[in-house]
Amino acid sequence: MRIVRRDIDKSGEGTLKLLPESAEDLWHAYHLVLPGDFVRASTFRKVQHETATGSSSSERVRLSLTLEVSSVAFDATSAAMRVTGRVIVANAAVKVGAFHTAELDVHRAFTLGKKHWDALAMERVALSTDAAADADAAAVVMHDGLAHVCLLSRSMTLVRARVETPIPRKGKNALYNRDTALTKFYAALLRALLQHVDWGAIKVVLLASPGFTKDSFWAYAMEEAARSSLRPLLENRAKVLLLHCSSGYKHALTELLADPAVTARLADTAAVAEARALDDFFAMLSSDPARAVYGPRAVMTAAELGAVDALLVTDELFRSAVVATRRRYVALVEEVKAVGGRVHIFSTLHPTGERLRDMTGLAAVLRYPLPDVDDEEEEEESEVESGAESGPEGGAGAGR
C-alpha cells in the first residue's frame, strides 16, 4: 500500500489517500474501513437520462463519490472489496442521501477519513506500507490425488489452486491405472506450481504430505524440469523443503508453521509468530491451566490486573458493528502493551486465526496464575450486542 496524501491533525481526525498495490493491500484496507468512516473513491454508477420526447436511456458512468460507510465486504478468493454507504457530498449524477456500493480495486487510489485514527489503525497502515511484508512462502499440502497450492503472506493464506485426480486402488489393472493416474496428478500439480508461484520472489516453498507422496512428486518435478528446461524449478530448487503433514487439506498448514525447519526459514514472519504463540497458549493450558485464559470476561479481568504476558486476538474482533465494542478491544490491546505484554493479532484468513476464532477469538497467557478468574459469559455485553453482530464472544470462558 502506498500513502499518496496524509492529512491527520493532532487529535487523530483526518484523511489518508491510499493506493492499494496488491490483493493483500485490499485486505488491510478492509480492516481500516469501518462503519461511520467516509470513503471517497472513483466508481461506476448507472445514470438515467430522459430525452425531450419523454423516453429514457441509461449508461454507466465513472463518478467520484464520497460515502458515509455503512458496511464493508471482502472476498479473499477474488480479492474484491466493496464499500456500501450513503452519499454525503453533492454530485451532478447522484443525490445526497442515496445509497451506493463502490468497489475498491488494486492500483486505484481512494481517500479514507476517520473521526479518530486510533493506534491499531495506524499500526495497520504502517504494516500495509511495509515493502517487506509481501508473500513469504508458498506451500503445497497433498496426499494421493489431492493437493492445495497456497501462498502465505503476513495477513492471508490464499488457496491459489486445488488439484484433484481420482486414484484407483482396486480392480484388475489397479497398479497400472494407479501409476497412470498419479502421473496425471503430478503433471497437473506441477502446472499449478509454475502458474501460481513466483519462484524468484518467494523465500521458501513447502511441499508436505503423509508418507512419500511429496518425495515422489518432487522427483517427478525434477525429471520434468531437466527434460523441459524449466528454469524456475532448476534455479530455485534449494528453496524447497520436503515436510510431513497429516493430509492434503488446508488445515494441515498449521502443522507446517510449527515445524522447526519452517520456523528457522521464516522466523521473521507474522504467520510463524502466530503459530508459535498459539502453540505456547495450548501448552500452558495443558501444563498450568491457571495461567491460560480465554474469552472476553476472563482475558479483560486478567488485563485489568496487569497479568497478561501474551494476548492473542483475532482481527475480526476489531470490526464489530458496535463502536463501543471496537474501542473496548483497542483499549485492551493498549492496556496490555502498556505493561510490557506481547500482542499477537491473528488474521482469520490464516489457519491459526480460524483456530483461535473457534475458541472465542480472544485468549491470553498470564505472568502468574489467576485461578479465581470468572469464566462465565458476560451477560451485559451480550444484551448490548444481541442482534447487532454474530460476534465470537458467546461461550467465553477461562481455560482451567
Residue 119 has pLDDT above 50, yes or no: yes
Kindly report the length of the chain: 400
Q: Where does the pLDDT of residue 109 fall: very low under 50, low under 70, confident under 90, or very high at 90 and above?
A: very high
Smallest Cα–Cα separation from 24: which of 74, 97, 67? 74
Instruction: Please give the pLDDT value at position 381.
Output: 44
Residue 376 has pLDDT above 50, yes or no: no
Mean pLDDT computed over 320-339? 86
Buried b (16+ CB within 10 A) or exposed e, 331-340: ebbebbeeee
**Sheet holding 342-346: strands in order across?**
292-294, 362-366, 308-314, 342-346
Indicate the domain borders of the chain.
Answer: 2-128, 137-265, 270-385
Q: Do domains 2-128 and 270-385 have the same CATH topology?
A: no
Smallest Cα–Cα separation from 18: which of 121, 103, 125, 122? 125
Percent of the chain having pLDDT more than 70? 82
- Residues 224-261: tens digit of each pLDDT: 999 999 998 999 999 999 999 999 988 888 888 777 77
Residue 53 has pLDDT above 80, yes or no: no
Cell numbers describing residue 200: 524468484
Residue 384 has pLDDT above 60, yes or no: no
Computed over every residue of the chain, the mean pLDDT equals 83
* Cβ atoms of 137 and 152 closer than 8 Å: yes
Q: Strand locations in 317-398, DSSP E?
A: 342-346, 362-366
Instruction: Please give the pLDDT value at position 70.
Output: 92
Instruction: Please give the pLDDT value at position 221.
Output: 96
- CATH of the structural domain 137-265, one choice from 3.40.50.10860, 3.30.420.60, 3.30.200.20, 1.20.1050.140: 3.30.420.60
- CATH of the structural domain 270-385, one choice from 3.40.50.280, 3.40.50.1000, 3.30.1330.30, 3.30.1360.70: 3.30.1330.30
Mean pLDDT computed over 333-350? 88
Distance in angstroms (rounded) separating the CA atoms of residues 372 and 395? 18
For domain 2-128, the CATH superfamily is: Pelota, domain A (2.30.30.870)
Smallest Cα–Cα separation from 354: which of 241, 257, 288? 257
